[in-house]
Amino acid sequence: MIIFFVFLLFFVRGHAKIEYSCGTGYIQLASISEKGKIASPFYPSGYPNMVNCVWLLEAPSKRQIELVVEDLQGDTTTDNCRDYLEIRRGNRSAALHYRGCKLTEPLTIRSENRWLWVKFQSDGTSATGRGFIARYSSFSSSKTDETSPVIRCTSTKYKCSNQECIVNSYLCDGVNDCGCTGDCDEDSCEKGKLSTTVLLGVGIGVGSVVFVGIFIGVGLLDLFLKYRADKINKMLEEKAKKRSRRRATKKGSGLFAASIAAGRSSNGSMASLKSLGESQRSDRLRKLSLANESIGLAKEKTLFNTLSTPVKA
């Protein structure tokens, strides 16, 4: 069941649709008079959960960016911001100008070079704030630093239209990792296409199911073999007991038959003696007695002759 929910999480993530727009992510001011605004999605009606919007503002040569945050209201906890606005010098790792979630009066920020990086992000809890709105313009600068802070993307990363770099496996995974709309990681994704992350999740889920299935199958097979072995042993024991009982029965029958035969023989001798007359019985008993005495005398004579025979040297 856990494996199923993990698979479902990856699958839903891979097919989720981004329901908000950040607008143009890379804003290049073409003239000294160009002005504009950026805002959180659906401002001032409130922004959705899991918003990630990133803008890169670039002024014309020898000019700088001026950004005026007119309104900012993001959700907060007791001592921290859940949803926030972040402004940096030119990229996500550059010097920080501002980070916060609530303003009581407009905030004016001037860039130190031609670029300004802006990000608005919300978490997964229900958002109740209005969001933010800011207006940008450019002003003349005497600074000569024209070095671009934009990070170059390596071959293993995807370059978003707002100049952000994300790893290729984040493409078409249902999450707005670039933080922009138009030529970003969730645009032009083929319907039903799964990202590397989702495919990895599917592979892990299927592999886990196969492993658990094999484990359960081996366990059931072991139980079946033990059950079968016990059954065979019991059958052999029953057969051995039956053979022993048959042998005992045959032996008892033989002894019983011999006993009956002996009884019959004894009864026959007694019957033959009883059938004789008194004088005949006495005569037969006397003959038997004489025969026994003759046998005894013969044995004594043989013994005497054996003892009296001299032993040859």
Determine which of 40-44, 209-213, 219-223 has the lowest per-residue pLDDT on average: 209-213
Q: Return the residue matching tokens 């000019």.
A: 63
Q: For residue 121, give the CATH number of its domain.
A: 2.60.120.290
Domain extent for 143: 18-173
pLDDT tens, position by position, 228-285: 888 888 888 888 888 888 777 776 666 556 556 655 655 555 555 455 566 676 777 7
Q: State pTM to two decimals.
A: 0.57
Q: Do 93 and 62 contact (CB within 8 A), yes or no?
A: no
Phi and psi (nearest 5°) for 196?
Answer: -60, -40
Per-residue confidence at 8, pLDDT binned at 50, 70, 90?
very low
* Predicted local distance difference test score (pLDDT) of residue 286: 74
299 belongs to a structural domain: no
Structural tokens at position 303: 């013994």
223 belongs to a structural domain: no
Q: Return the residue matching tokens 């046998």.
A: 295
pLDDT tens, position by position, 160-193: 999 999 999 999 988 899 999 888 888 878 654 5
307 belongs to a structural domain: no
How many folded domains does the chain comprise? 1
51 belongs to a structural domain: yes
Indicate whether 307 pLDDT > 60.
no
214 belongs to a structural domain: no
200 belongs to a structural domain: no
State the average pLDDT for the chain: 80
Per-residue confidence at 15, pLDDT binned at 50, 70, 90?
very low
DSSP state letter for 312: P
Indicate whether 48 pLDDT > 80.
yes
d(CA 162, CA 58): 11
User: Cα–Cα distances in Å, from 269 out to 76, 257, 266?
Assistant: 125, 18, 5
User: Cα–Cα distances in Å, from 84 out to 46, 104, 263, 299?
Assistant: 13, 15, 118, 134
User: Cα–Cα distances in Å, from 212 out to 13, 208, 226?
Assistant: 25, 6, 21
Per-residue confidence at 13, pLDDT binned at 50, 70, 90?
very low
110 belongs to a structural domain: yes
188 belongs to a structural domain: no
